[in-house]
Amino acid sequence: MAKRKRKARRNGRGRLAFLYRLLAFLLICGAIAAALALFFKVERIDVQGVTRYTAEEVIAAAGVEKGDNLFMMDKYAVAERITEALNYVESVRIHRTLPGTLHIDVTECRTTVAIEQDGTVWLLSATGKVVDTSATPQGHPLITGVTLLSPQVGQIPSAAEEREQRQLTELLRALRSKEMLGQVQQIHLEDDSAVTIRYLDRFTVLLPWEGDMDYKMDYLQAVVGRLENNEHGTINMMQDEKVNFIPD
């Protein structure tokens, strides 16, 4: 009996010790949160990467003001507000520097592609977002063979065919990551057997619908790098590990 009572007392003291430790932990967390809320406020907003927009426009779109809490704000919501409000912004990165600086690093759309549909030329960023409309596709890589469903500026539209949507998204992503999009004049998706690209205004490139586009773009650059500057023609990349160049 005495042994059971001693064991019960030890268990009781153990539970109390745990509760004390938990309470102390919560108090420390509360003190840290209070310190963050009290001392770390936005004193300076630094905007980088903009040429099309002003820093003031980015800050207004962010919805952040001096005096806001630096740590309590949702940086992902801030980035989303900027990309939604400013159509030519592709991505936003938010980070903080103590004691009170908020950094907003913006990546703007550098090259837009054009899709002409129902008398309107829709300009899309490399991420697929409609950033603007234009009276003419001239000066933008022209995409054919894709039908957009209810396109709207500021939104990423869907294509009528899922296959077209998937291939266009993957191709634009690969071209952007390899910094090749500005060297493309046309992209044709109407042929079920191949995707056709006009590249450097010298080459007609044939690609399969399926495959690793990053690898294909690296391969294309390597092939072009081995050709003379005055050469032009068709680069057939329909077969894996094999490329045929047919001069014009």
Predicted confidence at residue 34, as pLDDT, reads 56
- Taking the C-alpha atoms of residue 82 and residue 45, their distance in angstroms, rounded to an integer, is 14
- For residue 89 the two structure tokens come to 């912004």
Fill in the DSSP letter of residue 181: G
- For residue 16 the two structure tokens come to 């109390």
Predicted confidence at residue 117, as pLDDT, reads 94
Predicted confidence at residue 114, as pLDDT, reads 96
Question: In the beta sheet, which residues pair with residue 169?
Answer: none
Identity of the amino acid at 180: M
Query: What superfamily would CATH give domain 41-108?
Result: membrane protein fhac (3.10.20.310)
- Contact (Cβ atoms closer than 8 angstroms) between residue 206 and residue 238: yes
pLDDT in tens, 221-248: 999 999 999 999 999 999 877 899 999 8
Asked whether the bond before 247 is cis by omega within 30 degrees of 0, the reply is no
Domain ranges of the chain: 1-39, 41-108, 113-247
Q: Residue 30 — very low, low, confident or very high, per pLDDT cuts 50/70/90? A: low
Q: What is the pTM of this model?
A: 0.78
Mean pLDDT across 169-189: 94
Which residue did the predictor score with more confidence, 13 or 172? 172
The answer to whether the Cα torsion of 87, 89, 92, 96 is positive or negative is: negative
Q: CATH: 1.50.10, 3.20.20, 1.10.10, 3.40.50. Which one for 113-247?
A: 3.40.50
